[in-house]
Amino acid sequence: MTATTEPILEVTGLVKHYPLTQGVLFRKQVGAVKAVDGVDFTLGRGETLGIVGESGCGKSTVAKLLCSLERPTAGSILFKGEDITRLSGRALKAVRRNIQMVFQDPYTSLNPRMTVGDIVGEPYDIHPEVAPKGDRRRRVQELLDVVGLNPEYVNRYPHQFSGGQRQRIGIARGLALRPEVIVADEPVSALDVSVQAQVVNLLDRLQAEFDLSYVFIAHDLSVVRHISDRVGVMYLGRIVEIGRDAEIYDHPTHPYTQALLSAVPVPDPEAREHRERIILTGDVPSPTNIPSGCRFRTRCWKAQERCAREVPALAVPAAFRDASGPAAHDSACHFAAERQVVPAEGEHGNGPG
């Protein structure tokens, strides 16, 4: 579906820190886990924004913040111009109806003691104004039909379904209140590859049918490219590169993005033979002790003294600022370049400590 330029979500300076405390009687804060540490992006109407990154980079925390399942430490989330981080009570409940979530694990996100009809219809208990009680069964059956399940399955329990069918039930539940935004937190990572394709195609169809906007979170770069209009790459709590899907996949300018893409399996043996792999050394730094300056510098082969002093802004790199083209998209790197310069063996991640 072609997205409009009108933003439905605007995220600015989003921060979520979890305090670390010690002591039993007198608990003292001794630090913080910086799960999300300054995230900025917009989501247009009808658009799919993919967010990718390693495990622990903060993707799922961003999802919870967007759905108001967590309160941010700082920053703003504007839904159609209204900052939902400042809302509470009925006003927040009304916004939650329009921003729904599809969870990662279809096995733990469905209550095993509830029937499918009760699971999909539960949002109507929280928002009874959406569907009168006498009409709920019909609506639930319609939703099951929409996601490709037999409407007569309303009285079955989750254990009677496969993983792909369970995820369809989760999607039906997310659609129950007719939201405008769906936040999908790794919705296909627990599924077989063939089933992943079915669920992604279903999400594509539902977007066109219900005029939905998606924030699609995943670590599978191939899946994200298939479904996304734009892609944001996260590393250690921040977005380090964001742009149209072709810009990110065909013309990455941030070293971390280049390293991620170099690890994507390539089916063509000839192309695979001529591709350079970038193997990063070292581990991701702890979110309780983030490096100064650029947080990727401890693993980056381009790192210089400037990287330890200055935090790179997420903006069009100076090298591409006066040019138009796919490389002219936002990238948080002092030395961004369209072509990856693969370091010699033993030079990976040897920047300033």
The reply to whether 261 and 202 lie within a common domain is: no
322 is a domain residue: yes
Expressed as residue numbers, the domain containing 102 is 7-22+30-235
pLDDT of residue 166: 93
CA-based angle 120:124:129, to the nearest 5? Answer: 155
Per-residue model confidence as pLDDT tens digits over 17-28: 999 988 777 788
Residue 345 belongs to a domain: yes
Residue ending a domain, choose from 235, 267, 296: 235
Predicted pLDDT at 348: 47
pLDDT mean across residues, the chain: 88
What residue type is 304 in one-letter code?
Answer: Q
Among residues 235, 270, 289, the one where a domain terminates is: 235
Joined together, the tokens standing for residue 109 give: 């996100």
Domain check: are 286 and 149 in the same one? Answer: no
pLDDT of residue 233: 96
On the question of pLDDT at 33 being above 90, the answer is yes
DSSP letters spanning 169-208: HHHHHHHTT--SEEEEESTTTTS-HHHHHHHHHHHHHHHH
What pLDDT sits at residue 134? 82
CB atoms within 10 A of CB 226: 17
Number of domains in the chain: 2
C-alpha pair distances (Å), 3 with each of 8, 49, 314: 11, 10, 23
Mean pLDDT to the nearest integer, 281-298: 91
In a domain, 241, yes or no: no
Q: Are residues 177 and 271 in the same domain?
A: no
251: which 2 tokens? Answer: 């013309």
Backbone angles phi, psi at 163, to 5 degrees: -60, -45
Residues 12 and 99 in one domain: yes
Question: Which pLDDT score is estimated for 146?
Answer: 94
**Span 313-342, mean pLDDT?**
80
Reported confidence tier of residue 29, pLDDT bands at 50, 70, 90: confident
pLDDT of 1 reads 43
Q: On the CB side of 228, how many CA atoms lie within 13 Å of its CA?
A: 29
Q: Looking at residue 24, what is its pLDDT?
A: 76
* Nearest residue to 59 via CA among 226, 232, 213: 232
Per-residue pLDDT for 346 more than 60?
no
135-170 tens-digit pLDDT: 899 999 999 999 999 999 999 999 999 999 999 999
How many CA atoms are closer than 13 Å to the CA of 45, on its beta-carbon side? Answer: 9
Residue where one domain finishes, among candidates 176, 206, 235: 235
Contacts 24+ apart (CB under 8 A), 76-84: 76/10, 76/11, 76/12, 76/13, 76/14, 77/9, 77/10, 77/11, 77/14, 78/7, 78/9, 78/10, 78/11, 78/12, 79/8, 79/9, 79/181, 80/8
> Model confidence over 36-75: pLDDT tens digits?
999 999 999 999 999 999 888 999 999 999 999 999 999 9
Give percent of the chain above pLDDT 70.
Answer: 91
Decide if 190 is inside a domain: yes
Is 190:104 a contact under the CB 8 Å cutoff?
yes
Average pLDDT for residues 303-308, to the nearest whole number? Answer: 92
Q: Which of 53, 309, 286, 46 is nearest to 181 (CA)?
A: 46
Question: pLDDT tens for residues 110-126?
Answer: 999 999 999 999 999 99
